[in-house]
Amino acid sequence: MIAHQHDDFAGRVAIVTGAGSGIGRATAHTFARAGAHVLAVGRRTDALAETASAHPGIVTYSADLRAPDTPREVTDAAIGRWGRVDVLVNNAGATQVMPLDATTADGISALFDLNVTAPSLLANAALPHLRRVRGTIVNVSSTYGHRPLPGAAHYAASKAALEQLTRSWAVELAADGIRVNALAPGPTESEALAAAGLSEAAIEQIKQDEAARIPLGRRGEPDEVAAWILRLADPATTWLTGQVLTIDGGLELT
Ligand SMILES: NC(=O)c1ccc[n+]([C@@H]2O[C@H](COP(=O)([O-])OP(=O)(O)OC[C@H]3O[C@@H](n4cnc5c(N)ncnc54)[C@H](OP(=O)(O)O)[C@@H]3O)[C@@H](O)[C@H]2O)c1
């Protein structure tokens, strides 16, 4: 576990979506340890409760981010409790194996509703509050947001969209002092492969293949990713905006 020595986030409020597992859970813990109040968002109340049990600074909010009213309700919950939103971490996302010959409209919509529309509507709902405090947005993309992913092209396309939203919002919101960046992790231990409906045997095979292709020789741990999400959001990171930072053990270089 990566410890943080500073409390630069004391009194600040972070919304972290997808906080019931994987990268989102580690991110909620990392921000809470840095002194932030964290609203941990996801669907499963038990998973969120486990996240929150690690730190008193974490409060949970259970909702489906694909529902059109959820983004505003999430933002209202943070404002109702703490009166401000300093950081929005758009982390909730899903992957889907969907080769072109099995591609459906419903399959595309399910991916884009969660990976593109929900982060957009959350950013929209949080915007007036971010403006007030010159806050920041961190979008969680993927190394496959900027490299091909045969067999899961629409996942890659949804993350490419998120990266382009990041760059466009960074310029659009710069005059408000709002920084917008993205973190693009490579294969990281989480519940993502199981959530995609893959069998245990298939997951094990994918993990072995990925580890073999990554120059540093292993998949990442959620804490290793969360540390950089915190750094992108850190108020001390004053002149960085519109960037996509890849954390993938060197996979992108291969
Ligand atoms: N792990 C990797 O290898 C990897 C690599 C690159 C990028 N990423 C990205 O990293 C982010 C986090 O993924 P992860 O790997 O940590 O996977 P994960 O463990 O599956 O976490 C995703 C979280 O999102 C939540 N979520 C899913 N659908 C939701 C919905 N409709 N409404 C609200 N919450 C929802 C899930 O909780 P509920 O099911 O309880 O809602 C879950 O806790 C994703 O954007 C993913 O694309 C992951």
Closest ligand 1 atom to residue 23 Cα is 16
Decide if 88 contacts 15 (C-beta within 8 A).
yes
Q: How far is the CA of 175 from the centre of ligand 1 (A)?
A: 31
Distance from C-alpha of 60 to C-alpha of 49, rounded to nearest angstrom:
7
| Ligand 1 proximity of 66 Cβ (cutoff 6 Å) | yes
| Ligand 1 proximity of 249 Cβ (cutoff 6 Å) | no
Give the pLDDT band (50/70/90) at residue 7: confident
Percentage of the chain exceeding pLDDT 70: 98
Domain coordinates of the chain in residue numbers? 13-253
Distance from C-alpha of 226 to C-alpha of 228, rounded to nearest angstrom:
5
Question: So which residues are the catalytic ones?
Answer: 155
Decide if 238 contacts 41 (C-beta within 8 A).
no
pLDDT in tens, 97-109: 999 999 999 999 9
Measured in Å, how far apart are the chain's first and last C-alpha atoms? 28
Distance from C-alpha of 139 to C-alpha of 162, rounded to nearest angstrom:
7
Decide if 186 contacts 19 (C-beta within 8 A).
no
Token code pair at residue 86 = 């300093």
| Ligand 1 proximity of 140 Cβ (cutoff 6 Å) | yes
pLDDT in tens, 72-94: 999 999 999 999 999 999 999 99
Q: Which CATH architecture has domain 13-253?
A: 3-Layer(aba) Sandwich (3.40)
pLDDT at 119: 98
Answer yes or no: is pLDDT of 6 > 70. no
| Ligand 1 proximity of 245 Cβ (cutoff 6 Å) | no
CA 58, 193, 94, 246: dihedral to nearest 10 degrees?
A: 80
Q: How far is the CA of 94 from the centre of ligand 1 (A)?
A: 5
Closest ligand 1 atom to residue 17 Cα is 34
Answer yes or no: is pLDDT of 4 > 50. no
Decide if 17 contacts 90 (C-beta within 8 A).
yes
Average confidence (pLDDT) over 133-138: 98
For a ligand 1 pocket test, name from 139, 188, 210, 246 the mutation site with the most ligand atoms within 8 angstroms of its C-beta: 188
Tell me what the pLDDT averaged over the chain comes to: 96
pLDDT in tens, 15-71: 999 999 999 999 999 999 999 999 999 999 999 999 999 999 999 999 999 999 999
Cα 41 to Cα 16, 65, 76, distances in angstroms: 6, 9, 13
Radius of gyration of the chain (CA): 17
pLDDT in tens, 220-243: 999 999 999 999 999 999 999 999
Distance from C-alpha of 20 to C-alpha of 1, rounded to nearest angstrom:
17
| Ligand 1 proximity of 43 Cβ (cutoff 6 Å) | yes
Q: How far is the CA of 158 from the centre of ligand 1 (A)?
A: 14
Distance from C-alpha of 237 to C-alpha of 246, rounded to nearest angstrom:
17
